[in-house]
């Protein structure tokens, strides 16, 4: 997926290191596949938006999305704010902020959200915090809303080894990513957590053409009809269907 011209222009005004990081991530990340899982209209929350590469792409792709991104890293949000200004000027709808979670005890801002996106964030948290965020995110979805999770799978082995070595370098040596304890799960493990949160789940492995074992785990909250009865939900592919991996 080519980056939107307005996003490219916005990146030009960012510090060189940030530009390089965003450009490299755009080349090595299944951005098109992720964006395709998000409804074209409605309220979209990205947890851990970083420099807003994903949030900005979602907002520029469809003016019907009202995108909110938050991150605990104030330095990244300063760059994301510049990106958000450019997105707004181009007709998109994007707001970003520094945040550690929602109101009260919830780790997620109050919804309802038509989509919640979490991309390459949860592996930096403890298993308990991972499950708390996913459970809270599922609870804040609107009826029919989707939770789109992008994480690294546990196979194929060469891609896993490469990705994990890079993350150790980023978190413990270069310190460009916050987090000292890395907790990976398989795509199927992530799917189990979403199922326990009451979502209908599909798993899509999208690592073909990338050096990383990318996987999309998508959970959908059942819809509700006006009478208050549970509506039929569109069939969701079974786990691992389709598979775009290359072995």
Alpha-carbon span 221 to 201, nearest angstrom: 9
Domains of the chain, earliest start first = 1-26+39-100 (3.40.50.150), 114-223+238-247 (3.40.50.150)
pTM exceeding 0.75 = yes
Q: What is the pLDDT of residues 17-43, one digit of tens each?
A: 999 989 988 999 999 999 999 999 999
Residues with Cβ within 8 Å of 12's Cβ and at least 6 positions away in sequence, in order, are 19
Q: What is the pLDDT of residues 59-98, one digit of tens each?
A: 999 999 999 999 989 999 999 999 999 999 999 999 999 9
Decide if pLDDT at 2 tops 90. Answer: no
Q: What is the pLDDT of residues 125-136, one digit of tens each?
A: 999 999 999 999
Q: Give the H or E element holding residue 196.
A: helix 187-196
Extract the tokens encoding 44: 């979209």
């Amino acid at each position: 997926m080519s980056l939107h011209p307005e996003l490219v222009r916005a990146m030009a005004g960012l510090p060189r290191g940030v530009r390089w990081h965003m450009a490299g991530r755009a080349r090595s990340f299944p951005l098109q596949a992720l964006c395709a899982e998000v409804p074209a209209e409605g309220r979209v929350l990205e947890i851990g938006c970083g420099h807003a590469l994903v949030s900005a792409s979602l907002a520029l792709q469809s003016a019907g999305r009202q995108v909110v991104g938050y991150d605990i890293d104030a330095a990244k949000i300063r760059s994301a704010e510049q990106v958000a200004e450019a997105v707004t000027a181009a007709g998109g709808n994007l707001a970003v902020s520094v945040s550690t979670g929602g109101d009260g005890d919830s780790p997620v801002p109050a919804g309802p959200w038509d989509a919640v996106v979490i991309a390459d964030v949860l592996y930096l948290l403890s298993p308990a915090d991972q499950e708390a965020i996913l459970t809270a995110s599922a609870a804040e979805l609107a009826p029919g809303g989707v939770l789109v999770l992008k994480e690294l799978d546990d196979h194929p082995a060469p891609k896993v080894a490469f990705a994990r070595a890079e993350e150790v370098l980023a978190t413990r040596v270069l310190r460009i990513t916050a987090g000292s304890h890395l907790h990976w799960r398989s795509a199927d493990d992530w799917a189990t957590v979403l199922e326990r949160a009451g979502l209908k789940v599909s798993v899509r492995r999208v690592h073909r053409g990338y050096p990383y074992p990318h996987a999309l785990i998508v959970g959908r909250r059942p819809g509700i009809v006006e009478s208050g009865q549970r509506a039929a939900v569109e069939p969701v592919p079974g786990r691992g269907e389709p598979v775009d991996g290359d072995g």
